[in-house]
Amino acid sequence: MQGGAVARALLAHGLEVTAFVRNSESGPAQELKALGAKLAMGTMDDMQSLEAATAGQDVVFSMQPSGTAPGAESEQAHNIASAAHKNGVKQIIHTFVSATGWREMP
C-alpha cells in the first residue's frame, strides 16, 4: 500500500508520523504503530475524525483508497482539505489511483 510505504519511509528517516487508519487493530496499522507511528482512527467521510487526525500536523499525505467512485473521491478530498485548512496544515500531498481502468469519467 502506498500510504503505508510512505509512512514507513518517513519513520525510517526519524520523522514523526500519524497514520490515519480505518481499523487501528489491523495488521498494517499495528505494524506502523510498532515502528513508532501514532494511530488516528476514522474515515474520510467523517469530518470529526479527520479534524482530530490533522490537528497539530504540518503536512498531510493523502492516499485515498482505490475503488472509490469519482464523486465520493472528490468529496473525500474536499473533506481532507477542509480539515487540514481548519487546523493550519501547511502542505497537503494528495494521490489516488481509484480511476484506474475508467475509460470515461461519469
Give 17-44 pLDDT, tens digit per residue: 999 999 999 999 999 999 999 999 999 9
Phi, psi of 37 (to 5 degrees): -75, 145
- How many whole angstroms separate alpha carbon 67 and alpha carbon 100? 9
Residue 104 lies in a domain: no
Q: pLDDT digits over 82-101, tens only?
A: 999 999 999 999 887 655 55
The percent of residues above 90 in pLDDT, for the chain, comes to 69
Counted domains in the chain: 2
Q: Are residues 48 and 23 in the same domain?
A: no
Over range 71-92, report the average pLDDT: 92
**Statement: the pTM of the whole predicted model exceeds 0.85:** no
Over range 55-68, report the average pLDDT: 84
Residue 106 lies in a domain: no
Q: Are residues 15 and 37 in the same domain?
A: yes
- The band of 68, judged by pLDDT with boundaries at 50, 70 and 90, is low
Q: Are 50 and 60 in contact (CB under 8 A)?
A: no
3-state secondary structure of 26: coil
Q: Are residues 48 and 94 in the same domain?
A: yes
Place of cell 492516499: 63
Q: Are residues 37 and 2 in the same domain?
A: yes
Q: Are residues 37 and 48 in the same domain?
A: no
Domain that holds residue 78: 44-98
